[in-house]
C-alpha cells in the first residue's frame, strides 16, 4: 500500500519539475593549493544545500549554479572560500592551508550543510581522510577513538562480529544504539556499506542537532554520505591491502607443573583441615614429568590472513555523473574455524537534466559470509574451556582425535590417572565437530530528487529501501570416536533466518525566508513515513542424511519449525526547523518534530519533540577582530527533547505468543508511551595562534524519563515481564577535542589530536519498582545476577559481597554490611563496581615528511570495572591464573592475602569484588607508514596517485586486566555490561597495501 503511494507521489513530482524552467550558470575552474598544485577532492557546494561536486584529480571542477547563489570551496586543512555567482565563467581558486583548522562543512541532515563556524550544536565530522587512511574492516572502526564520547565496542574479536556504538553514555535500557542514516535513509546497521564508498560521516550528539530526527535521535544520529561521481574521467581508484593476524596475548594460566603443585596444595590443605579431598591423590614428581603441558589457547588459535580490495570508478558530464565500485574483504579468524568475507558492489548516479533539478540515485549490494564459534558463555566450550581447562590433558589422542578429558569412566594420560572434566570439554571437540555459518544479503537503494523552485525555495524528496536477510546455521555432525568412548548418534542443525525491511519516504522544503547583509533566516519543513518489517523463523532438525554444513541444501525442509515471528511497525513524522544568523555573530536554531509510532496505543501514539540552540561567535565581534590569539571563538548552548520507541511492537495490545507448545499469554500495557530524553549542552569552539591550536569543549546533561524497559514483576503473576515506562536515568559528561597542527620547514608537517570523553550515569527514578537484577552468571555460587540497576547508582552496577581478605583458615571473608554477624545475600551484598569508565580517550598523531606519511592512533578507557568470569569458579579441578595463586593462604603461608588453594573443592566462589578487575587499557590501535611516489614518476607511469603503506593494528596494549583482551565485547543486553565470560580476543595484525588512482 505504502509502496503505491510513494510511487504516486514520485510520479506527481516528476511532472512538477518538467513544467518549470530555470535560470542558472555553469561555472568551472581549477582549485590549487598554496604551491599551485591542483587539489583533488575539494568539495564545491552550493551554500545551504547538499548540491555540489568535488574536484577531480587535477583540481578541476564544473558546476551549475543558479544566479545569486554562493558556492563554497572546502577541503580539510584549508580555509573555505565562498564565491557568489552572478554569471557563467571560469573561477580559479587558490585555497590557503592551515588557516582555520576547524573550518569544515558539516552535514546536519535534510539537505542542510553548514560551515562548522556557524554550527550551534554538537556535531562531529569525520572526513574521508580519517575513514580511509588506515586499513579497517568495518565502518564503525573509523569512528572508534576519533570522536569523543562516542564509544564503539567490538562485540568480539571474531571476524564479522557486530559492533555496538554508544553516543554519550547509555540513556536507555532498550536499544541504545544511535540512528544510522545512509544518504538520508534509516538503516539497521552500517555493516553492508563498504567504508571506501563513504564520503563523510557526521555524528549528531546533542538534542538540538538530532532534534530534526525527533523520536529516533535520542541515542545520537550518524549520518553517512556516500561518494558521488566527479566530472570528467573516467577515473579509477584501486586500493588493496593484505596482512596477517595473530593472537595478541595467551593469557597467564598455570602450566602443568604449576597446576599440579596447586592441586597438591589443595589436597594437602584439605588433609590438614581433617577433610578428605575429592579426586585423585596428589601428583608425584614422576607423574608430573609424564604429563603433557598443553597451552590450550595455542591449540585453538592460528595465524590468519586479512585482505581488502576495492576498485572504484567515477566520472561524468554536466548531465550525468557516476560512481561505481566493487569491493572484496576477507578476514580469517585466529581462533578455530571462523572467518568472514564481504562482497560489495555499489553504483551511484547523479542526473541533472536541467539546472533547477537534480536526481541522485545510489544503490549497494552486499553479501557476507561468516563462520563463527560460540563464545562468551559457559556452554560455548572454546574460550571458556581455554581459561578453565587444566594444562595436563593432551590436546589430541594418539589417533589424532580430540582427547576426551570428560570420560567419566576414567581418564588417564601416560599411565597417570586424571580427574575427568566433562563440564568444560576439550575445546577441540567444539572446533572439530561444530560448524556455524551465517550468510547475509543486503540490498540498499535510495533516490533523492531536489528541485529549486526559486532561488530561495528548494523542494526535495527522498525514498529509500533496504532489505537485509540473514541465514544462520549451527551444525553439530554425527560422529563416533570409539577410542574415546564417544558416540554421537544424531547430527543436529539449528537454523535461524531473519529478514528486515526498511521502507522510507520523506519530503521537505528548504526555504530561505530572509537573506541580506546582516541576516539569514532559513526554514525546513518536512514529513516522513517509515515502515519496518521484521520476520524470523528458527527450527531444529536432527538426523539429517548430510553430515556436513557444506553438503546441506540451501533450503532445508522446515518440518520441525520451532519459532516464527513477524512484525511490522510504522512511524509518521512532521518536522520544522529554523536557522537564524545575525551578522555571522549571533546564531539561532529551533526545531520541532511530531512523531507518531504504531508501537503505542491510540492515546499515546504521538510525541512532540522540540529543541532550540544558540551560538555566539565572539571572534567576529569588533573587540576581538584585531586579536591575534583567537582566530575563532564561539560559545554554544542547546536544549532539546528526543524520544525513543525502541521496543517490540504491539505492547499495548492484549495478545498471546503462538508457541509450538501452546499459546502463552503476554502481558500488555495500554499506557506504554514514548520514552523521552532531554538534553542540555554547552560548548566552546576555539582556534588559536594562527589556527595551530583547535579546541572544542562540550558539557552535557542528558536526562531520560519514562524509560522503556521490561519491568520485573512477581513470578506468581505467571507472565513475562511487561514493557513499562519505568525508570529515569541521568547522564552527565564532558567532551574535549584538542588539535595541534604545525610544520617545521616546508617538508615536515605534523598534527596531534587528542579527544577525551567523560561521563557519569545514574539511575534517578524507578517509578516505585524494585531494583532490576541482570547478568546472571553460572560461574559463581548460586548463579547470582551480578549486576543491579538501582536508584542512585549507574545502570547495571556490579552488586555482590565486599571481599574482606581471608580468615584464619584461608577462606574468603566478606564485609558484614549490616553487622548482624551473618553473611547473607539479602543483607550483605552491596555495590562493588562500576562497569563504566571514568573517561575514554583517543590520541592521533600524523606526520608528513616529503613523500612519507605516518599516522598513529591509540585509544583507551580508564577506570572501568570488569567481572572476569572466563575462569569457571563453580567447577571443581579448574585451572587458575598466575595472579590468583600469588600469595595464597596455605598452612605454610598463614599471612597470605589470597584465598587458600581449592582445586579439589568449589569454595570461596561467592560473587564479590575479588572477581572484579580494573579494565582500564591503552591500546595502540594502529600505526601506518605510507609513501607516495613522486609526481614525476607517477606521471611517467600514467598514474595520478600511487601510495604504498605498511600498517600494524593492536600492536601494543597496556593493561592490568588478566583476561585475554581488556577490550571486552558487548553483550546484546544493555543491562549486561563489563562481564567477560570468554570473548573471542581481538587479533594483532601487520598489513601492507597500495592505493592507486589513474
Partner 1 sequence: MRYKYFFIFFLFSICACSDFLEQEPESELLESEVFSDINILESLLNAAYRPLGYEYVGDLTGQDTYCLPFIYADGRSDDILIENYFFGGSKFHDFETLTDLTPSNTQVRAVWFKYFNGLAKTNDLISGLASVNDDVLSTELKEQFVAESRFLRAMYYFELVRNFGDVPLFDGIIDATIEDNLRRKPTSEVYAFMEQDLIFAADVLPVSQTDTKKATKGAAYAQLAKTYLYQSKWQDAANAAQEVIDLGVYQLEENFEDNFKLWNENGIESIFEIHYDESKAWVFDSRQTSSLAAQLSTPSLAAPLGGWNYNLPTPELINAFMNEGDIIRREASIILGGDSLRSELLAAEGLDPLPVDYSEREAQINDPDGGTLYGLGYGYSKKFFLTAEEVTETTGSIQHSPLNQKVLRYGEVLLILAEAVANGASGDGQGAFDQIRERAGLDSKPLSIENIKLERRLELVNESNRFYDLVRWGDADAEIEQFTAGRDELLPIPAIEIELTGQDEAGADLLSQNPGY
Give the nearer residue to partner 1 in terms of CB position, either 976 or 995.
976
Torsion of CA 286, 287, 288, 290, to 10 degrees: 90
**Binding of residue 473 to partner 1 (CB under 8 A):** no
Question: Which 762-781 positions form the footprint of partner 1 (CB under 8 A)?
Answer: 768, 770-771, 773-774, 776, 778, 781
3-class DSSP state of 340: strand
Nearest by Cα to 863 from 834, 838, 835: 838
Contacting residue, 659, 807, 820, 886, with partner 1 by CB under 8 A: 659
Lookup: cell for 347: 553504483
Dihedral over Cα of 169, 175, 179, 180: its sign: positive
Secondary structure E strands in 790-878: 797-800, 803-806, 812-814, 830-833, 839-849, 852-862, 865-868
From the list 164, 172, 266, the residue with the least C-alpha distance to 879 is: 266
CA-CA distances (angstroms) from residue 660 to 113, 134, 236, 364, 495?
A: 53, 50, 55, 38, 16
Q: Is residue 972 a contact point for partner 1 (CB under 8 A)?
A: no
Measured CA to CA, the distance from residue 535 to residue 394 in angstroms comes to 45
Using alpha carbons only, what angle is made at residue 847 by residues 842 and 848, rounded to the nearest 5 degrees? 150
Please answer whether residues 472 and 438 qualify as being in contact, where contact means their C-beta atoms are separated by less than 8 angstroms: yes
CB closer to partner 1 out of 326 and 453: 453
Query: Is residue 507 within the footprint of partner 1 (CB under 8 A)?
Result: yes
Pick the closer one to partner 1 by CB: 667 or 698: 667
* Residue 562 binding partner 1, by CB under 8 A: yes
Convert residues 780-799 into a mask of x (bound to partner 1 by CB under 8 A) and - (unbound): -xxxxx--------------
Q: Does residue 714 belong to the site contacting partner 1 (CB under 8 A)?
A: yes
From the list 118-126, 232-240, 316-324, 872-880, the region that binds partner 1 by CB under 8 A is 872-880
Strand intervals (E) in 43-172: 43-46, 52-54, 60-66, 70-74, 81-84, 89-90, 93-94, 105-109, 112-115, 123-127, 150-154, 163-167
- Minimum distance, C-beta of residue 528 to partner 1, in the bound complex (Å): 8
Cell 581522510 appears where? 129
Backbone angles phi, psi at 298, to 5 degrees: -70, -35
**Residues 890-929, interacting with partner 1 (CB under 8 A):** 905-907, 909
Give the residue with the Cβ less far from partner 1, 845 or 875: 875
Contact between 846 and partner 1 by CB under 8 A: the answer reads: no
**Quick check: 508 binds partner 1 (CB under 8 A)?**
yes
Decide: is 496 part of the binding site for partner 1 (CB under 8 A). Answer: no
Q: Should residue 557 be labelled a site residue for partner 1 when binding is judged by CB under 8 A?
A: no
Binding mask 267-296 for partner 1 (x = CB under 8 A): x--x-----xxxxxx---------------
User: What backbone torsions phi and psi does residue 277 show, to the nearest 5 degrees?
Assistant: -70, 145
Task: Indicate whether 129 belongs to the interface with partner 1 (CB under 8 A).
Answer: no
Q: How many Cβ atoms sit within 10 Å of the Cβ of residue 567?
A: 14
Instruction: Tell me: does residue 27 bind partner 1 (CB under 8 A).
Output: no
Pick out residues in 663-692 that bind partner 1 (CB under 8 A). 663-666
Q: Which single residue is written with the C-alpha cell 572560500?
A: 81
Q: Does 719 contact partner 1 by CB under 8 A? A: yes
For 808, other C-beta atoms within 10 Å of its C-beta total: 8
User: DSSP letter string over 136-170?
Assistant: -SSHHHHHTTTSTTEEEEES-SSTT--EEEEESS-
Minimum CB distance to partner 1 smaller for 623 or for 716: 716
Nearer to partner 1, 566 or 689 (CB): 566
Our finding on whether 596 is near partner 1 (CB under 8 A) is yes
Residue placing its CB nearer to partner 1 in the complex, 232 or 596: 596
Helix (H) or strand (E) run with residue 327 in it: strand 320-332
CB of 444 to partner 1, least distance (A): 23
Q: What DSSP state is assigned to residue 700?
A: E
- 457 in contact with partner 1 (CB under 8 A): yes
Question: Measured between alpha carbons, how far is 600 from 675 in angstroms, rounded to an integer?
Answer: 11
The span of 194-202, 294-302, 432-440, 649-657 binding partner 1 (CB under 8 A) equals 649-657
Q: Which residues make Cβ contacts (< 8 Å) with residue 78, sequence separation at least 6?
A: 33, 39, 42, 95, 96, 97, 98, 99
For residue 987, the minimal CB distance to partner 1 (Å) is 31
**Residue 914 Cβ vs partner 1, minimum distance, rounded to whole Å:** 17
Using CB under 8 A as the binding rule, whether residue 89 contacts partner 1 is answered as: no
454 binds partner 1 per the rule CB under 8 A: yes
Nearer to partner 1, 171 or 909 (CB): 909
Does 570 bind partner 1 (CB under 8 A)? Our answer is yes
* String marking each residue 341-380 x if it binds partner 1 according to CB under 8 A: ----------------------------------------
294 SS3 class? coil
Measure the CA angle with vertex 787, ends 781 and 790; round to 5°.
130
Which residues between 531 and 550 bind partner 1 (CB under 8 A)? 535, 540, 542-543
Per-residue burial over 419-449, b = 16 or more CB atoms within 10 Å of its CB, e = otherwise: bbbebbbbbbbbbbbbbbbbbbebbbbbbbb
Q: How far apart are CA 575 and CA 215, in angstroms?
A: 11
Q: Under rule CB under 8 A, which residues in 602-641 are in contact with partner 1?
A: 605
Burial bucket for residue 824 (CB in 10 Å: 0-12, 13-18, 19+): exposed
Q: How far is the CB of 354 from partner 1 (least distance, A)?
A: 17
Residue count at the site for partner 1 (CB under 8 A)?
A: 109
Q: Grid coordinates representing 867?
A: 567481572
DSSP-assigned states of every residue in 614-683: EEEEGGGSHHHHT-SSEEEEEEEEEEEEEEE--S-TTTTS-EEEEETTEEEEE---TT---EEEEEEEEE
CB closer to partner 1, 62 vs 528? 528
523 binds partner 1 (CB under 8 A): no
The smaller minimum CB distance to partner 1, of residues 196 and 528, is found at 528
Residues numbered 377 to 396 that lie near partner 1 (CB under 8 A) are none
Does 594 participate in binding partner 1 (rule CB under 8 A)?
no
Query: In angstroms, rounded to a whole number, what is the distance separating the alpha carbons of residues 907 and 809?
Result: 13
Question: Looking at beta carbons only, is 27 or 786 nearer to partner 1?
Answer: 786
Using CB under 8 A as the binding rule, whether residue 874 contacts partner 1 is answered as: yes
Verify binding: residue 565, partner 1, rule CB under 8 A. yes
Q: Looking at beta carbons only, is 363 or 649 nearer to partner 1?
A: 649
Contact track, partner 1, 413-452, x by CB under 8 A: ----x-xxxxx-----------------------------
Please tell me whether residue 876 binds partner 1 under the rule CB under 8 A. Answer: yes
Q: Which stretch binds partner 1 (CB under 8 A): 250-258, 455-463, 759-767, 801-809?
A: 455-463
Mark the segment that binds partner 1 (CB under 8 A) among 90-98, 196-204, 338-346, 707-715. Answer: 707-715
Minimum distance from residue 111 beta carbon to partner 1 (Å):
13
Q: Which residue has the cell 508457541?
A: 659
Binding of partner 1 at residue 598 (CB under 8 A)? yes
In angstroms, rounded to a whole number, what is the distance separating the alpha carbons of residues 687 and 695? 6
Task: Round to whole Å and give the CA distance between 168 and 700.
Answer: 9
| Residue 410 found at the interface with partner 1 (CB under 8 A) | yes
**Which parts of 176-235 interact with partner 1 (CB under 8 A)?**
none
Amino acid at each position: 500500500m505504502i509502496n503505491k503511494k510513494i510511487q504516486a507521489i514520485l510520479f506527481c513530482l516528476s511532472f512538477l519539475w518538467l513544467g518549470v524552467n530555470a535560470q542558472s550558470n555553469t561555472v568551472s575552474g581549477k582549485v590549487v593549493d598554496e604551491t599551485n598544485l591542483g587539489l583533488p577532492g575539494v568539495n564545491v557546494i552550493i551554500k545551504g544545500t547538499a548540491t555540489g561536486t568535488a574536484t577531480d584529480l587535477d583540481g578541476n571542477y564544473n558546476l551549475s549554479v543558479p544566479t545569486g547563489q554562493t558556492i563554497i570551496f572546502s577541503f580539510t586543512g584549508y580555509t573555505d572560500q565562498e564565491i557568489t555567482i552572478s554569471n557563467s565563467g571560469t573561477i580559479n581558486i587558490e585555497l590557503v592551508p592551515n588557516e582555520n583548522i576547524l573550518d569544515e562543512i558539516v552535514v546536519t541532515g535534510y539537505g542542510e550543510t553548514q560551515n562548522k563556524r556557524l554550527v550551534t550544536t554538537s556535531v562531529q565530522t569525520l572526513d574521508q581522510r580519517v575513514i580511509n587512511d588506515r586499513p579497517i574492516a568495518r565502518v564503525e572502526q573509523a569512528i572508534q577513538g576519533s570522536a569523543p564520547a562516542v564509544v564503539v565496542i567490538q562485540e568480539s574479536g571474531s571476524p564479522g562480529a557486530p559492533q555496538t556504538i554508544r553516543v554519550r553514555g547509555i540513556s536507555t535500557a532498550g536499544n541504545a544504539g544511535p540512528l544510522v542514516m545512509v544518504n538520508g535513509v534509516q538503516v539497521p546497521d552500517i555493516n553492508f556499506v563498504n567504508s571506501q564508498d563513504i564520503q563523510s560521516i557526521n555524528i549528531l550528539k546533542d538534542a538540538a542537532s538530532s532534534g530534526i530526527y525527533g523520536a529516533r535521535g535520542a541515542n545520537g544520529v550518524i549520518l553517512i554520505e556516500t561518494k558521488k561521481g566527479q566530472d570528467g574521467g573516467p577515473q579509477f581508484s584501486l586500493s588493496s591491502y593484505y596482512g596477517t593476524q595473530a593472537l595478541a596475548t595467551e593469557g597467564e594460566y598455570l602450566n602443568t607443573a604449576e597446576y599440579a603443585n596447586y592441586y597438591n596444595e589443595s589436597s594437602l590443605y584439605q588433609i590438614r583441615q581433617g577433610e578428605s579431598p575429592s579426586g585423585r591423590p596428589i601428583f608425584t614428581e614422576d607423574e608430573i614429568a609424564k604429563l603433557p603441558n598443553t597451552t590450550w589457547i595455542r591449540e585453538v588459535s592460528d595465524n590468519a590472513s586479512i585482505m581488502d580490495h576495492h576498485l572504484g570508478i567515477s566520472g561524468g558530464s554536466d548531465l550525468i555523473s557516476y560512481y561505481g565500485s566493487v569491493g572484496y574483504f576477507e578476514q580469517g579468524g585466529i581462533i578455530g574455524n571462523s572467518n568472514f568475507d564481504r562482497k560489495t558492489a555499489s553504483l551511484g548516479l547523479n542526473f541533472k537534466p536541467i539546472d533547477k533539478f537534480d536526481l541522485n540515485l545510489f544503490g549497494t549490494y552486499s553479501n557476507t559470509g561468516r563462520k563463527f564459534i560460540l563464545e562468551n558463555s559457559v556452554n560455548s566450550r572454546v574460550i571458556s574451556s581455554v581459561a578453565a581447562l587444566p594444562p595436563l590433558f593432551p590436546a589430541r589422542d594418539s589417533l589424532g582425535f580430540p582427547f576426551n578429558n570428560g570420560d567419566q569412566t576414567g581418564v588417564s594420560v601416560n599411565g597417570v590417572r586424571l580427574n575427568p572434566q566433562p563440564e568444560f570439554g576439550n575445546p577441540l571437540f567444539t572446533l572439530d565437530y561444530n560448524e556455524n555459518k551465517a550468510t547475509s544479503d543486503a540490498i540498499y537503494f535510495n533516490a533523492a530528487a531536489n528541485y529549486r523552485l526559486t532561488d530561495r525555495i528548494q523542494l526535495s524528496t527522498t525514498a529509500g529501501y533496504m532489505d537485509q536477510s540473514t541465514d544462520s546455521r549451527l551444525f553439530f555432525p554425527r560422529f563416533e570416536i570409539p577410542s574415546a568412548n564417544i558416540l554421537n548418534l544424531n547430527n543436529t542443525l539449528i537454523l535461524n533466518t531473519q529478514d528486515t525491511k526498511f521502507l522510507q519516504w520523506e519530503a521537505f522544503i528548504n526555504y530561505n525566508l530572509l537573506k541580506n547583509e546582516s541576516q539569514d533566516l532559513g526554514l525546513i519543513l518536512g514529513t516522513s513515513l517509515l515502515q519496518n518489517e521484521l520476520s524470523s523463523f528458527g527450527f531444529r532438525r536432527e538426523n539429517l542424511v548430510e553430515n556436513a554444513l557444506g553438503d546441506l541444501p540451501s533450503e532445508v525442509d522446515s518440518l520441525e519449525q520451532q519459532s516464527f515471528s513477524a512484525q511490522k511497525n510504522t512511524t509518521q513524522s512532521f518536522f520544522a526547523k529554523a536557522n537564524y544568523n545575525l551578522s555571522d555573530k549571533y546564531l539561532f536554531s529551533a526545531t520541532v518534530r511530531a512523531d507518531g509510532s504504531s508501537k503505542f496505543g491510540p492515546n499515546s501514539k504521538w510525541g512532540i519533540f522540540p529543541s532550540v540552540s544558540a551560538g555566539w561567535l565572539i571572534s567576529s565581534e569588533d573587540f576581538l577582530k584585531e586579536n591575534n590569539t583567537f582566530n575563532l571563538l564561539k560559545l554554544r548552548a542547546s536544549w532539546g527533547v528526543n524520544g525513543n520507541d525502541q521496543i517490540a511492537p504491539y505492547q499495548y495490545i492484549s495478545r498471546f505468543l503462538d508457541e509450538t507448545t501452546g499459546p502463552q499469554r503476554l502481558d500488555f500495557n495500554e499506557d506504554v508511551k514514548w520514552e523521552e530524553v532531554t538534553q542540555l549542552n554547552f560548548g566552546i569552539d576555539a582556534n588559536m595562534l594562527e589556527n595551530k591550536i583547535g579546541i572544542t569543549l562540550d558539557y552535557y546533561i542528558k536526562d531520560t524519563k519514562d524509560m522503556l524497559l521490561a519491568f520485573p514483576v512477581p513470578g506468581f503473576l505467571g507472565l513475562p515481564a511487561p514493557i513499562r515506562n519505568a525508570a529515569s536515568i541521568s547522564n552527565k559528561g564532558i567532551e574535549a577535542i584538542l588539535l595541534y597542527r604545525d610544520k617545521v620547514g616546508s617538508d615536515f608537517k605534523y598534527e596531534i589530536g587528542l579527544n577525551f570523553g567523560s561521563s557519569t550515569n545514574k539511575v534517578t527514578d524507578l517509578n516505585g519498582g524494585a531494583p532490576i537484577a541482570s547478568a546472571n552468571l553460572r560461574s559463581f555460587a548460586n548463579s547470582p545476577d551480578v549486576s543491579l540497576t538501582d536508584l542512585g547508582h549507574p545502570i547495571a552496577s556490579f552488586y555482590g559481597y565486599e571481599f574482606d581478605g581471608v580468615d584464619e583458615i584461608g577462606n574468603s571473608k566478606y564485609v558484614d554490611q549490616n553487622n548482624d554477624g551473618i553473611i547473607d545475600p539479602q543483607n550483605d551484598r552491596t555495590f562493588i563496581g562500576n562497569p563504566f569508565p571514568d573517561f575514554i580517550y583517543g590520541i592521533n598523531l600524523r606526520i608528513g615528511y616529503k613523500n612519507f606519511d605516518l599516522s598513529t592512533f591509540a585509544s583507551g578507557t580508564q577506570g572501568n570495572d570488569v567481572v572476569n568470569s572466563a575462569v569457571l569458579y563453580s567447577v571443581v579441578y579448574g585451572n587458575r591464573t598466575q595472579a590468583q595463586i600469588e600469595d595464597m593462604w596455605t598452612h605454610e603461608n598463614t599471612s597470605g592475602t589470597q584465598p587458600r588453594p581449592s582445586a579439589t573443592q568449589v569454595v570461596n566462589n561467592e560473587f564479590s569484588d575479588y572477581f572484579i578487575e580494573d579494565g582500564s587499557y591503552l591500546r595502540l590501535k594502529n600505526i601506518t607508514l605510507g609513501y607516495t611516489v613522486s609526481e614525476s614518476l607517477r606521471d611517467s607511469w600514467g598514474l595520478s596517485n600511487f601510495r604504498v603503506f605498511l600498517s600494524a593494528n593492536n600492536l601494543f596494549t597496556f593493561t592490568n586486566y588478566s583476561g585475554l583482551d581488556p577490550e571486552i565485547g558487548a553483550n546484546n543486553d544493555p543491562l549486561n555490561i563489563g562481564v567477560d565470560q570468554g570473548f573471542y580476543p581481538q587479533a594483532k595484525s601487520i598489513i601492507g597495501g597500495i592505493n592507486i588512482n589513474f
